[in-house]
Amino acid sequence: MSRKQKFLAVFLGTLVLFFGFVMVRVWALKPPSTMKLTAIQAGEYDPAVWGQAYPLQYQSYLKNKETEPSPTGYNGSVNYQKAERQTEIYTNFKGNPFSKDYTEDRGHLYALEDLQHSKRIGPASKGACITCKTPAIEQFYNQMGWGYANQPLSDLLAQSKHPVSCANCHDPATMNLRVTQPAFIEALARKGVDVTKASRQEMRSYVCGQCHSEYYFAPGSNQVVFPWDNGYTPQEMYQYYASQPNGFAQDFIHPDSKTPVLKAQHPDYEEWLNGTHGKFGVSCADCHMPYVRSNAQKYSSHWMTSPLRNVHESCLPCHTQGADQLYNQVRATQDNTWQLQRTAGLTVERAHKAIAKAAAVSGANQAELDKARELLRQAQWYWDYVAAANSQGFHNAVQELHTLGQSIDLANQAIDAANRAAGTNSL
Ligand code: HEC
Ligand code: HEC
Ligand code: HEC
Ligand code: HEC
């Protein structure tokens, strides 16, 4: 063997050992040792009833009531208005309820209350909005199929007593994980995946992906659809939306720039799926529901919050780096994403203004204006995809920084096209 070959062999050997070690650590996370199974009645949506049989999980679930900021200063469980920190939200969503009320998310126990108090809903709101807020979704879908999505939201709210809880994720008879959200099951079926045949490790992310995903309401029926037919990246979803699926063309038309805008909705599952942890098979539950102990009993924490509140439980079962080092790494990723996200959002805002100004010029070039609107639609989608996802870039830093770079470039191209349309091209 030449020195080069020897070096290569040692290098490859080290790689195999290292990743073998990492994967063994990943898969060695075994479920809790002993658990007495108590069958709960089908259709029981009250978490307190489940809690009598499973008190440790229930006690940790009640912690979702906490409303503290996250240690990073990003995300967190305080429902502040996002526009206070990102003023571009006012312009970019002008004419859409998101410009009036767009709060940071908080714990699962608030899901119904926050929906009820949202200024984004009104008397005309439809049942589709309740899809990811309550376990009663099972009952509504069993009774009405997708027909529930077109019922008045107020009727369904009156029948929903419990926010996101046990029955959203567990089969009451067996406690096995299950998906109750029909749009998730349908989206995967279109890809040839049968959710009922998923592995346990897959289910530990599917139960979250059923709600933490991008979606749109099909015009007319208000059926919830996940836009995954072309793939899960922001670029693939943009192509999918370009085909106007089910007649869906846009969420709203911007009143000043007349751009048909797509509003992104918390694509956490999609972001994670293509990121380092998603690709290595690390599930949402591995970080957000770590194993914790109460005396001798080991159980899954049901406090689904920032994992950085519990770096030891959430990260250190797999990582040998220290807690501080991991925290600093997350923070650096978030700071970088935040900076580019603001630049993208503010450039998108300038593009709306440039197009509105150009359109007001008499004799403005319509073809250039249309081009500017298409560029802006894409730029805004790319900005919003990152801004609407919940980890401030951590779930998939490479994809998110790339997408923000594209957003900034496209928004600048939109401004150039608007200037050409108005005959004021400065290039
Ligand atoms: C490798 C660990 C890891 C995995 C896997 C992971 N996350 Fe996260 N998640 C994080 C970290 C770290 C943050 C940032 C928390 C912060 O800023 O305090 C976060 C943030 C979030 C937030 C925002 C929390 C808040 O305070 O508002 C949500 C929601 C979320 N993740 C959902 C998911 C979902 C759904 C999945 C799976 C599809 C997932 N995460 C997979 C580590 C992870
Ligand atoms: C958002 C989804 C979700 C909700 C809501 C939820 N669970 Fe779980 N639960 C999980 C996941 C994921 C696991 C881990 C299962 C595994 O790894 O096989 C789990 C595990 C469990 C286990 C098995 C033992 C353990 O601790 O790992 C019990 C018991 C349990 N949950 C009870 C409850 C109860 C009671 C509630 C309501 C108060 C509840 N769960 C709400 C997702 C959920
Ligand atoms: C039935 C729908 C549903 C399911 C299932 C679900 N979530 Fe959520 N999740 C929500 C909603 C809705 C909110 C926002 C609630 C609010 O702000 O009032 C939320 C908020 C969160 C937050 C923010 C908490 C905070 O304190 O800021 C985290 C983290 C989170 N979910 C993680 C998860 C994880 C991990 C899973 C899977 C184990 C999961 N969720 C499953 C609907 C769901
Ligand atoms: C179940 C195992 C597992 C858990 C839990 C886990 N990780 Fe990882 N992490 C991995 C694997 C596997 C990789 C990729 C291979 C490598 O770099 O070691 C990785 C890579 C990383 C990287 C480098 C790549 C990137 O995306 O930036 C960071 C940073 C990281 N993890 C942070 C965290 C943090 C923070 C937590 C806790 C919130 C966490 N991890 C929890 C397994 C895990």
% of the chain with per-residue pLDDT over 90 = 90
CA-based radius of gyration for the chain: 23
* Choice from 395, 396, 400 to test ligand 1 binding pocket (greatest atom count within 8 A of CB): 395
- Per-residue pLDDT averaged across 102-119, rounded? 96
The C-alpha atoms of residue 404 and residue 189 are separated, in whole angstroms, by 31
**pLDDT over 80 at 366, yes or no:** yes
Would the pLDDT of 426 be above 70? Answer: no
- Average pLDDT estimate for 155-184: 97
225 DSSP β-pair partners: 216
Are the C-beta atoms of 269 and 208 separated by less than 8 Å? yes
**Chain segment 183-221, per-residue pLDDT in tens:** 999 999 999 999 999 999 999 999 999 999 999 999 999
Check whether 27 has a pLDDT greater than 60.
no
pLDDT tens string 140-160:
999 999 999 999 999 999 999
The pLDDT, as a whole number, for residue 424 is 79
C-beta 326 within 6 A of ligand 4: yes
Q: Is 316 in the pocket of ligand 4 (CB under 6 A)?
A: no
**Distance from C-alpha of 202 to C-alpha of 283, rounded to nearest angstrom:** 7
pLDDT at residue 425 tops 70: no
Given the structure tokens 């150039």, which residue do they identify?
A: 416
Q: Is the CB of 336 under 6 A from ligand 4?
A: no
Select from 48, 318, 79 the least CA-distant residue to 162. Answer: 48
Q: At what angle do helices 323-359 and 366-388 cross, to 10 degrees?
A: 160
Measure 212 CA to ligand 3 centroid, in angstroms: 7
Q: Taking the CB of residue 134, how many other CB atoms lie within 10 A of it?
A: 25
Q: Atom of ligand 1 at shortest distance to CA of 269?
A: 38
Beta bridge partner(s), residue 126: 152
Which ligand has the minimum distance to the alpha carbon of residue 320? 4
Cβ(253)–Cβ(401) below 8 Å: no
Q: How far is the CA of 306 from the centre of ligand 3 (A)?
A: 11
Q: Which atom of ligand 3 is nearest to the CA of 288?
A: 35
Output the average pLDDT for the chain: 94
422: confidence class by pLDDT, cuts 50, 70, 90: very high
What confidence score (pLDDT) does residue 130 get? 97
Q: Which ligand is nearest to the CA of 301?
A: 2
Q: Which two tokens stand for residue 297?
A: 């009993």
**Per-residue pLDDT for 284 more than 80?**
yes
Q: Whose CA is nearest to atom 30 of ligand 3?
A: 304
The pLDDT, as a whole number, for residue 347 is: 98
- At residue 313, does pLDDT exceed 50? yes
pLDDT in tens, 59-78: 999 999 999 999 999 999 99
**209 close to 184: Cβ distance less than 8 angstroms:** yes
Ligand 3, atom 25, lies closest to the CA of: 106
Closest-lying ligand 2 atom to the alpha carbon of residue 211: 1
Q: Which residue has the higher pLDDT, 136 or 19?
A: 136
Which ligand does the CA of 317 lie closest to? 4
DSSP H/E element including 279: helix 276-279
Half-sphere exposure (CA, 13 Å, Cβ side) for 121? 17
Q: What is the pLDDT of residue 4?
A: 74
Q: Answer whether 395 contacts ligand 3 (Cβ < 6 A).
A: no
Pocket of ligand 2 (CB under 6 A): 31-32, 35, 47, 50-51, 54, 57-58, 61, 164-166, 168-170, 175, 177, 200, 204, 207, 285, 289, 299-300, 302
| SS3 state of residue 261 | strand
Neighbours of 97 (CB within 10 A): 16
Q: Whose CA is nearest to atom 39 of ligand 2?
A: 166
* Cβ 395 under 6 angstroms from ligand 1: yes
For the cut 80, the answer to whether the pLDDT of residue 12 exceeds it is no
Q: Quick one: pLDDT at residue 28?
A: 46
* Of the listed ranges 20-29, 69-78, 98-107, 408-417, the one predicted with least confidence: 20-29
CA of 107 to the centre of ligand 3 (A): 6
Between the CA of 175 and the centroid of ligand 2 the distance, in Å, is: 8
- Ligand 1 atom at shortest distance from the alpha carbon of 278: 5
Q: Which ligand is nearest to the CA of 68?
A: 3
- Could you tell me the pLDDT band of residue 14, with boundaries at 50, 70 and 90? low
pLDDT-wise least confident of 2-16, 22-36, 335-349, 373-387: 22-36
Q: Which domains does the chain have, with CATH numbers?
A: 44-422 (1.10.1130.10)
